[in-house]
């Protein structure tokens, strides 16, 4: 949580300027090269070409032009997605991830009182200036973080399943092509002795996927 709180409500394009001579403490000049005010900014992912970024903005998402890192420029901003739903909009959007030209927008980050829209929104950002919704996969649990690789999105599924009163805090896998769930994994399924550990001590906070392996925090 503290890592999130440390991110200010703005997007900084960070780069290395002219390096100074190393000091006795081993430090060198390192400073932001540009900044864009973007209220509610929580997380940013840079595209493979390094020229655009997608940003989670708490109540939506945005795309930013980074062609000139000294002057980041807002390309598109989408607030209150899925507001037309009875339990919409999708809120508490703390994370977005990109795979090719598809963006996964997840939320809410934390459980909320009453009914809410929970899940992952898939967005086509092949034209970053005109993001287009592709579809939505609904979940019964909040989603704090996700990973997106090789056509599959990996969701933090805390509270996704409760067995005999035990929260399994699962990793939930959804295929982007048809927005269907294809698998789940949890510590308690791997080794039932984990069920004896209080669920709050084994919350699945974050996930990273690379080369067919998932690293879980």
Domain assignment of residue 19, yes or no: no
Would the pLDDT of 85 be above 70? yes
Query: Given pLDDT bands bounded at 50, 70 and 90, which one contains residue 13?
Result: very low
pLDDT, residue 17, reads 33
Q: Which helix (H) or strand (E) holds 56?
A: strand 52-56
Kindly state the average pLDDT of the residues 47-68. 98
Residue in the structure block whose two tokens are 């996927």: 209
Mean pLDDT of the chain: 88
Question: Domain containing 201: what range?
Answer: 33-216
Confidence of residue 11 (pLDDT cuts 50, 70, 90): very low
The answer to whether residue 155 is domain-embedded is yes
Cα–Cα dist 217/203, whole Å: 8
**Residue 64 lies inside a defined structural domain of this protein:** yes
Stronger pLDDT, 71 or 111, i.e. the higher one: 71
Using a CB cutoff of 8 Å and minimum separation of 24, what contacts does 16-23 make? none
Q: What's the pLDDT at 137? A: 98
In a domain, 163, yes or no: yes
Question: In terms of Cα–Cα distance, which of 87, 79, 179 is closest to 134?
Answer: 179
**Domain assignment present for 13:** no
- Is residue 16 one of the residues assigned to a domain? no
Over the stretch 136-185, which tens digit does the pLDDT of each residue have?
999 999 999 999 999 999 999 998 777 777 788 999 999 999 999 999 99
Confidence of residue 88 (pLDDT cuts 50, 70, 90): very high
Other C-beta atoms lying within 10 Å of the C-beta of residue 25: 6
Q: Is the pLDDT of residue 12 over 80?
A: no
Supply the pLDDT for residue 9. 39
φ, ψ for residue 187, nearest 5 deg: -60, -40
Residue 62, pLDDT > 60, answer yes
- The pLDDT of 91-115, averaged and rounded, is 94
What is the distance between the alpha carbons of residues 213 and 217, in angstroms, rounded to a whole number?
13
Residue 11 belongs to some domain of the structure = no
Written as six digits, the tokens of 200 are 């709050």
- CATH code, domain with 74: 2.130.10.10
In a domain, residue 173? The reply is yes
Q: Pairing state of beta strands 31-37 and 73-79?
A: unpaired
CA-CA-CA-CA dihedral for 159, 160, 166, 171, to nearest 10:
-100
What lies within 8 Å, CB to CB, of 43 at 6+ separation is 4, 7, 55, 56, 94, 95, 96
The number of domains in the chain is 1
Q: What integer is the mean pLDDT of 66-93?
A: 97
pLDDT higher at 212 or 162 = 212
- Per-residue pLDDT reduced to its tens digit, 178-194: 999 999 999 998 999 99
Question: How many angstroms separate the first and last alpha carbons of the chain?
Answer: 13
Angular region, 59: left φ>0, alpha ψ -120 to 50, beta rest: alpha
**CA 36 → CA 42, 82, 143, distances in Å?**
13, 26, 26
The answer on pLDDT for 208 being more than 50 is yes
Between residues 28 and 216, which one has the greater pLDDT? 216
pLDDT at 166: 76
CA-to-CA distance for 180 and 202, rounded, in angstroms?
26
């Amino acid at each position: 949580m503290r890592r999130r709180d440390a991110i200010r409500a703005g997007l900084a394009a960070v780069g290395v300027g002219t390096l100074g001579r190393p000091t006795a403490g081993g430090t060198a000049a390192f400073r932001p090269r540009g900044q864009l005010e973007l209220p509610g900014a929580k997380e940013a992912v840079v595209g493979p070409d390094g020229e655009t970024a997608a940003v989670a903005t708490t109540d939506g998402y945005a795309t930013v032009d980074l062609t000139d890192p000294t002057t980041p420029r807002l390309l598109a901003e989408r607030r209150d997605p899925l507001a037309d739903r009875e339990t919409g909009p999708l809120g508490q959007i703390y994370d977005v991830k990109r795979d090719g030209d598809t963006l996964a927008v997840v939320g809410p980050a934390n459980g909320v009182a009453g009914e809410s829209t929970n899940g992952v929104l898939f967005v086509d950002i092949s034209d970053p200036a005109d993001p287009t919704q592709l579809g939505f996969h609904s979940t019964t649990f909040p989603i704090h973080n996700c990973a997106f690789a090789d056509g599959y999105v990996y969701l933090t599924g805390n509270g996704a399943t409760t067995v005999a009163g035990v929260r399994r805090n699962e990793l939930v896998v959804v295929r982007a092509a048809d927005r269907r769930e294809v698998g789940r994994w949890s510590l308690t399924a791997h080794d039932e002795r984990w069920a004896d550990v209080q669920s709050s001590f084994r919350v699945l906070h974050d996930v990273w996927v690379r080369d067919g392996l998932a690293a879980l925090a």
